[in-house]
Structure 1
């Protein structure tokens, strides 16, 4: 039986001197990091500090079966040739490395409770972080036992080609600030509080990893040797430091790949992230590219009204890949921040281009992006420009040519009825929805003769478009609604019916809940507290994760208490767990799917707790690995970037193991924890506030 918790509505890195290692490439270099337009990282409040002994839910393994201690083919290193005694360095073949990586990927991750809060980053001088996570339990600052990884360093640091999956540059884990090589990079933050320190995880895992060093064909062997020697020395120094603090650390070793990268690439292509030519193999999972593929799949061009299509700008990520010269459309309209409203002369010139019989390429036009016409400062001329564009587009997409005179080959005049020649128009922008939404909604209102609220719902449900509009667009469209309808071809010669705006519109800020799957939406608390809008979207069930809705008794009774589920005592604080609740949540979502209805999953902001549940459902129902499910959901969360914190992401990787087991497969990670965290950090860096 679903538990219902509802707040009632209140009133108100030879002997001759080797080349210097030098600083190398940083996290985001040599990869495209252009952010998706208009996405942003919202602030996620961590919630209250748990009282001593009252961490919620109770601290316990999130999975019923405690994972056995993981093993490694690199430890002990008895089967590998020792290349150097002091410091100890071992040689490893391409086959040896491949086997070690395969074996490691199939070893279960330690349970979250054994590695957190250490993975959050507990610097001894960061009083805020220590006070929140450790309190009087100093043992929590110690390196977790049983945690053993494999870190791969590419000497030279050029990660734009010849990159083994998961490889990092030396300066991502080694301190290269002086010639002595002071040690591992100090990665724990000295100040501030965060449960989303994804950027430190590669360095954190290097502390508990055997490290393999390799280079490409252009890397001087002396550089490879220098990096390996420094790494082995740092490992030995780090172990002595821990022993001096009373800890009994495990022994980790340094290895050097004894075969060239080309051999590794030829024999084990599935373990190559970027080949020797700098290309991403088809199997390679790069989060940024995967996000764009998913974005284009989600917002794939579709017809919103006769002849007018909305979708992403043509490019390599559309399916199939396309370009702005593709003849699929007669006219491409790009919504841009730099565009001006086209006047009558511009539109007339574009029409001539479209009618030019010698032209064999599409015509291009730009239009102001959403959010660029701001009330109350917008002018009547801007409104005229919007209506002029709507009328012009309608005439293109509904054009028919009247009967006309032509001459046959004998010179006789005959009357010929030309077939209709309506145009196909693509209204596009980078993400396929944000920048184009204002014009798309305005045109839909004009062409279909419907008010704002009907346009919002019909475009989403009937046209299956996911879209976001700025609050200023909502205000603008509401203000000019009457004029749009008065000039609509739907009401030529007839009176425009007076349709009052429903009450749910007053709560509309431009965003609708994000449709992740046909039966599951992801949203925020504001969405959850607009039941009238949710019902119109086909949502009949509410899953509240840590944040109760404020509904009236009548609203609860109307929906039925069994259609509301509250997951209580889960804050976005890096301490509280969600794994114990996942089965219950997914069963609730599944019941809605079976009933033919949709479920809204929400927390406060709709990016962490609720996003975690949605990712779990995508993994379970679509059979996707965590990295792919993460990108799937991230692309579909409109306007804002999902941001499950470190512990939730780790829990989802454990959930991935569990799901593979349920499907009768031997659990195997597609990407390791440090790689996943590094990818997320690289994706988010363009959006981070500096």
Structure 2
């Protein structure tokens, strides 16, 4: 028997951080809470440059001249020494740290061409990476001098509380004792990958930036000052060793220095709240943007509960930690009488399950529910009923679920149960002693409000929602797909197995529908051609006038027409339509951005304005634009993020989460160079709006958070 639960009513609460997965370091508790069924598709890097492998460099890369990013921490002549150790460590107050942060955030970043391919990670032994990116141009291996940052390190490494903006653990940048070649000398980690090829080495950026940063060490209330200073001394030695590798033993200049925060953490919390990501109790302060939390907010805003049929709502599982947040829609969402959770581990409910639940709803049971608790039913999630092995019991269960939901939502009383209820309650009897069956009174009561939900509001619940929508409205599968998306404004994800199942059981669902008129043609309408070419997923609606999709979506013009898409922006991947499909599409409705591969080399920055002008032209003409590349996660996602930043005025981190949430089950993956170009695009947006430029987060923090968000879905675990 399926499970019946009582879910407490949700109340707004203080936001708390996701457990232990804000950092990549292993010292933190917990593992990332991955959103079910999201996945990272494979992205081809594009053609490899035709060049022979080169020999590995015999010495570390040296710096090249370039525009220096100024820093309030360099030179450190205005700061007092914090210790009398054999290496310099300087003292820094909370006010000075806040000023240094603000100054850095207002500094323009070097152009992408000056920091790449160095940021990709060019290890001397990685012949594949070296050959692809630099060939025989040894100058490209050198550390870019114009790139400068501030790295915050927390002594002790526990980042689950008392976390400053952008803080990392010591082991993310320093080699441990077991890995040091020379046990007498501290050293930074060798973070560049020794083997393999990748343009998405987000996980190494915090460490790479530490080598070109002033480093600030702090501790929480439980960390002794001596421990903070000892760590700072180790980092200062590592900086000096790294500089010797770069410039040689005779160069005494120290372009980067180490500092310790002398003010207690409690002082920072009260007087410099803008620096606090997590307070001393481990709660988010909302002063520092958090990727995990913001993605969750955007996901819940996108899939906020909405009524898809009378008294039946579709949405995400209620989350008390984000209830009432300003990002969420201000719709008048009711309290629910029944909640149906779609889950991959749930079983098909049987008749006994429904009987027990109805007894609970009607108060005909000794089970007591807590105040505010809502009865909950579980149902198998999307993709759980697989063709061609599905059983008749599974199909029966899906149809019965639709029928039961309809009766509850519309107040339709099952005649059999109604008669049984009258008899059990001692109804009046006729002259023969039988119960008098007075059925002339109303067989309908006020319907109950029902929420079909799952974690993200669209994945596991899509099969049941689509099946119920077909049943309640007597719609064939293709009409249900379109109307749920276009008229009900729902973004949802269905598997190809869901398409096959719903097509196969369509006659039965429609025949059982309360709105069925008895017309045979209604049961088996011909399926449109676009449905046959669809894998179950629609392109992702990022904005009302802009969709993000893959090459398969782009090559399905029938589907595009049904979705109101009248323009196609192809980023690096040409269309392959049949000749008879191009007649309705004028050349000005198509834009092809050529010579942009997903290889970490080809820039996309120079195409932003042309692409956004094309999207805006379609918007003015009342049509939506599909933006696509091959997979729909890197090149096209970059353009969509640029448009969201341009249209909504969001910072890059928030625009990234906005698009990531709306790409549904496919995780967007703009590679390192595209991500950096978008951070530069943010500078241009500030200039365009006449606002002073101030980055919300720095490059190393952004890259580190993206790596942490993607880690649960990576092949490595």
Q: TM-score, normalized by length of structure 1? A: 0.89
Q: Distance between the aligned counterparts of 2:143 and 2:33, measured in 1?
A: 36
Matched, 1:441 2:448: no
For residue 366 of structure 1, the aligned residue among 370, 378, 383 is 378
Matched, 1:600 2:611: no
Shift of 1:418: 9.4
- Report if the CA contact (8 A) 1:592-1:598 is conserved: yes
Structure 2 residue aligned with 1:62: none
Structure 2 residue aligned with 1:619: 645
SS at match of 1:480: helix
Structure 1 residue aligned with 2:25: 26
Stretch of structure 1 that moved more, 354-363 or 647-656: 354-363
For residue 632 of structure 1, the aligned residue among 658, 670, 679 is 658
Matched, 1:340 2:350: no
Q: Distance between the aligned counterparts of 1:647 and 1:248, measured in 2?
A: 33
- Report if the CA contact (8 A) 1:486-1:496 is conserved: no
Change in CA separation of 1:96 and 1:112 when aligned onto 2, cut-off 3 Å = same
Structure 2 residue aligned with 1:313: 317
Matched, 1:394 2:390: no
Shift of 1:50: 3.4
Q: Distance between the aligned counterparts of 1:576 and 1:628, measured in 2?
A: 25
Stretch of structure 1 that moved more, 338-347 or 123-132: 338-347
Matches within 5 A, 1:46-125: 46-51=45-50, 69-83=68-82, 84=84, 86-125=86-125
Q: Distance between the aligned counterparts of 1:621 and 1:137, measured in 2?
A: 40
- Report if the CA contact (8 A) 1:331-1:424 is conserved: yes
- Report if the CA contact (8 A) 1:297-1:318 is conserved: no
Structure 1 residue aligned with 2:12: none
Shift of 1:420: 3.3
Structure 2 residue aligned with 1:410: none
Matched, 1:232 2:231: no
For residue 481 of structure 1, the aligned residue among 506, 512, 515 is 506
Change in CA separation of 1:289 and 1:181 when aligned onto 2, cut-off 3 Å = farther
Stretch of structure 1 that moved more, 459-468 or 240-249: 240-249
Structure 1 residue aligned with 2:611: 585
Q: Distance between the aligned counterparts of 1:292 and 1:85, measured in 2?
A: 46
Structure 2 residue aligned with 1:64: none
Structure 1 residue aligned with 2:196: 192
Q: Distance between the aligned counterparts of 1:247 and 1:547, measured in 2?
A: 50
Q: Distance between the aligned counterparts of 2:185 and 2:562, measured in 1?
A: 63
Structure 2 residue aligned with 1:351: 358
Structure 2 residue aligned with 1:331: 338
- Report if the CA contact (8 A) 1:242-1:249 is conserved: no
Shift of 1:223: 1.3
Structure 1 residue aligned with 2:429: none
- Report if the CA contact (8 A) 1:25-1:169 is conserved: no
Shift of 1:363: 1.4
Stretch of structure 1 that moved more, 238-247 or 369-378: 238-247
- Cα shift readout 1:120-157 (whole Å, capped 9, x = no counterpart): 00000001100100110111111111211111111111
- Cα shift readout 1:20-57 (whole Å, capped 9, x = no counterpart): xxxx981683476211110001110000023579xxxx
- Cα shift readout 1:394-420 (whole Å, capped 9, x = no counterpart): 1111115799999xxxxxx9x987983
Matched, 1:659 2:671: no
Shift of 1:451: 0.8
- Report if the CA contact (8 A) 1:212-1:257 is conserved: yes
Matched, 1:274 2:300: no
For residue 422 of structure 1, the aligned residue among 447, 456, 473 is 447
Matched, 1:499 2:525: yes
Change in CA separation of 1:394 and 1:103 when aligned onto 2, cut-off 3 Å = same
Matched, 1:142 2:167: no
SS at match of 1:557: coil
Matches within 5 A, 1:236-315: 236-244=240-248, 251-315=255-319
- Report if the CA contact (8 A) 2:27-2:158 is conserved: no
SS at match of 1:611: helix
Matched, 1:206 2:218: no
Q: Distance between the aligned counterparts of 1:541 and 1:28, measured in 2?
A: 49
Shift of 1:686: 0.6
Q: CA RMSD, aligned part only?
A: 2.6
Shift of 1:251: 1.5
Change in CA separation of 1:381 and 1:245 when aligned onto 2, cut-off 3 Å = farther
Q: Distance between the aligned counterparts of 2:100 and 2:30, measured in 1?
A: 28
Shift of 1:316: 2.8
SS at match of 1:203: helix
Q: Distance between the aligned counterparts of 1:675 and 1:539, measured in 2?
A: 37
SS at match of 1:551: coil
Shift of 1:283: 2.3
- Cα shift readout 1:557-599 (whole Å, capped 9, x = no counterpart): 3121111101110000000111000000000111111112111
SS at match of 2:584: helix
- Report if the CA contact (8 A) 1:27-1:682 is conserved: no
- Cα shift readout 1:507-558 (whole Å, capped 9, x = no counterpart): 1111000001111110000000001011101111100000011113432331
SS at match of 1:365: strand
Q: Distance between the aligned counterparts of 1:30 and 1:654, measured in 2?
A: 34
Aligned length: 645
Shift of 1:284: 2.3
Structure 2 residue aligned with 1:41: 40
Q: TM-score, normalized by length of structure 2? A: 0.86
Q: Distance between the aligned counterparts of 1:514 and 1:417, measured in 2?
A: 45
Q: Distance between the aligned counterparts of 1:118 and 1:50, measured in 2?
A: 17
Structure 2 residue aligned with 1:169: 169
SS at match of 1:541: strand
SS at match of 2:81: strand
Change in CA separation of 1:689 and 1:679 when aligned onto 2, cut-off 3 Å = same
SS at match of 1:225: helix
User: Which residues of structure 2 form unaligned runs of 5+?
Assistant: 1-22, 53-65, 426-437
Q: Distance between the aligned counterparts of 1:91 and 1:276, measured in 2?
A: 22
- Report if the CA contact (8 A) 2:85-2:233 is conserved: no
Q: Distance between the aligned counterparts of 1:593 and 1:25, measured in 2?
A: 41
SS at match of 2:240: helix
Change in CA separation of 1:228 and 1:246 when aligned onto 2, cut-off 3 Å = closer
SS at match of 2:320: coil
Structure 2 residue aligned with 1:8: none
Matched, 1:687 2:710: no
Q: Distance between the aligned counterparts of 2:467 and 2:103, measured in 1?
A: 56
- Cα shift readout 1:237-295 (whole Å, capped 9, x = no counterpart): 11111123999986111111111111122111011111112110022211011111111
- Cα shift readout 1:218-244 (whole Å, capped 9, x = no counterpart): 112221111111111111111111123
